[in-house]
Chains A and B, each alone.
Chain A
Amino acid sequence: MTDFLNYSQLPFIMFCILAIQAMSLQVVLGGTGLLSLGHAAFYTVGGYTSAIFTVFLAPKLGIENQTLLLLLACCVGMISASLAGLVVAIPCLKLRGDYLAMATLGVGEIVGTVFKNLDFVGGTRGFKDIPKLGSPLLIFLVMIAIAFFMVRFYKTNIGYAVRATRDDEISAQSLGINIYKTKLFSFFMGTSIAGLAGVFYAHTLQFISPDESGFYNSVVLVLAVVIGGMYSVFGSIFGAFIIVVVPELLRFIPSFVNPYLTKLADYGIISKSFIPIFDSIFSNRTLVFSVLVIIIMLLNPKGVASLFERFQNRMRKTHE
């Protein structure tokens, strides 16, 4: 059991962090309908700045208390990420749809390049030896808290304004909603939560690399949001769960299937050289995962949450 706990601790932390990140993107992407392909940039900014704070600034200020340190690191991370978000959003939110996606894609790459060139945080090698703060339980609780906060948020006036902007900008405007400010607010909120995720990432793995802000990571976030269902907060958590857990499970496939394969090879149905190829295919988890993603998208482009909705609707119909 302890083995299992030790083994599953890292995937669990990664799941919680990815879920926080996915929810932070969900406000922007599902809530407001802004396609951001550079969201990982903001969480990298949050991670880096908070790490800079705890490594360089905190010892000078003489902050010893771990709780206070974590609290301040979170504040620093959130503020810096949301400021970065505002710097990007104020000009870029004037762009629409695909063009916004292109611009934010650029932001991710630019942030990576900037951190690669900052030598005092390790340059291309990444920022090492960040002090360890926070615990898995704490991150999990933060994730739950954010989830409930987000669900509440969608029921406030500004939450309705956000969704109205997504559904129809012109109608929203005619109801007196300031579209630009609403978008700005959702971007601000999304990026600050992303910053928080970055703080936890940097201070549990004790390492953050400039490659973190790259295109691939942003896409993983979009994936988490879309797999779970764009319009659902809990869908994002589910998406993060799939992205973290499924590749971990795929790891076990060769050990399950290999005995049967060797039997088949003994009977001469398949050639023996097939087994190492099969092994290398399944040990390459990204490969299997990418196939799974394509299949999931083809079967159900609206995400898993829509299955839930369909189920709920059916339940309602049977009650009527």
Chain B
Amino acid sequence: MSDFLQAIIDGVAIGSLYALIAIGYSMVFGILQFVNFAHGELFMLGAYFVMLFLTMGAPVWAALLFAILAVGTIAIVIERIAYKPLRKHNRLAPLITAVAMSLFLQNVVQVLFSPNSLSYPVNIPGTIVTLGDLYVRIRDIGIFILTILLAFCLELFLNKTKAGQGIKALAMHSEASKLCGVPFDRTVSLTFFIGALLAVIAGTIQGMATNQIFPLMGVNAGLKAFAAAVLGGIGDLRGAVLGGLFLGISESMLVSYELSTYKDGFAFVILILVLLIRPQGLLGRAQLVKV
């Protein structure tokens, strides 16, 4: 029993990061029915930008703020350049530009910084507290609470503000909400910005917690977070958080049962099982369209 609890506690931090990235995938898919495969790279860019500002001497909060603005702008520009012109064409075209964009960002970072991993200037100490049989990293609990808080704020934003209502309306029915005067392009940009914001925060946490960042860090995290988004029900915010946490915890359970080499494939086994049994995901609403 204590092993089980320990696995949950160990998996919560990485699960929170998956959740933060997954929200971006999920929100964009909710509006455009399009998987932004360059989203994992925003996570990586976030980590690099924060490092850049930190080495320039900015305090952590300012570095984070600037990085969010920078990566958010990059996300919006990417959408305008690479996805928007292809919106009316077949589904494949934006998918391919998204993948090409992700390759582009990875390689730009490799050229500008280095292909090797870099250490992070600011770290969160990994102090461990014992609670009975359990070892708890305070950092992990902090990350978890932060994620829940951010998700809560986002939920509040979506429900209480006009812009947030616009996002929800577009996700529900894009044609009807356009007729009601929701500015489509601006709302899509806002969605990309929010996704980038959360990805930057996740990237920064990853950098500060593991003390190393590398240009390809977004690939694996991005794919896993995508699996988490599908798992929870793609297009659903709470589903993304739940899916991320579920994935993180189940991966750490695999590690505790000494199956850690199978960890990377496991997320996708769950993904396929969920798609076959409950295609709308854990929390997604069932659609009338046959999937």
Contacts and interface: CB of A to CB of B under 8 A. Distances in A.
A binds B: yes
Interface of A: 29, 35, 91-92, 94-99, 101-103, 105-107, 109-110, 112-114, 116-117, 215-216, 219, 222-223, 226, 230, 277, 280-281, 284, 286-287, 289-291, 293-294, 297-298, 301-302
Contact of B275 (A102, A219, A281, A291): A102
Contacts, number: 126
Contacts of B264: 109, 112-113
Given A106-B268, A294-B101, A297-B93, A92 B223 contact: no
21 contacts: A95-B291, A96-B291, A97-B291, A101-B35, A101-B95, A102-B275, A103-B271, A103-B276, A106-B269, A109-B223, A110-B269, A112-B265, A113-B264, A226-B92, A226-B93, A286-B107, A287-B104, A287-B110, A290-B100, A294-B104, A301-B90
Interface of A (DSSP majority class): helix
Contacts of B95: 101, 222
A242 to B, nearest CB: 13
A67 to B, nearest CB: 37
Interface of B: 33, 35, 81-82, 85-86, 89-93, 95-97, 99-101, 103-104, 106-108, 110-111, 219, 223, 226-227, 230, 261-262, 264-269, 271-272, 275-276, 279, 289-291
Contact of A96 (B33, B110, B265, B290): B290
A117 B268 contact: no
Interface of B (DSSP majority class): helix
Contacts of B265: 109-110, 112-114
Query: What 9 A-B pairs have minimum CB-CB distances, sorted nearest first?
Result: A113-B265, A106-B268, A287-B107, A290-B103, A290-B104, A293-B100, A301-B93, A301-B89, A290-B100
A69 B117 CA distance: 45
Contact of B268 (A105, A219, A230, A286): A105
A281 B86 contact: no
A102 B262 CA distance: 19
Given A106-B227, A287-B104, A293-B100, A117 B261 contact: yes
A103 B93 contact: no
A106 B100 contact: no
Given A96-B290, A117-B261, A294 B82 contact: yes
A5 to B, nearest CB: 31
A297 B219 CA distance: 22
A106 B230 CA distance: 11
Contacts of A287: 103-104, 107-108, 110-111
Contacts of B97: 293-294, 297-298
Contacts of B82: 294, 298
A90 B272 CA distance: 13
Contacts of B279: 95, 99
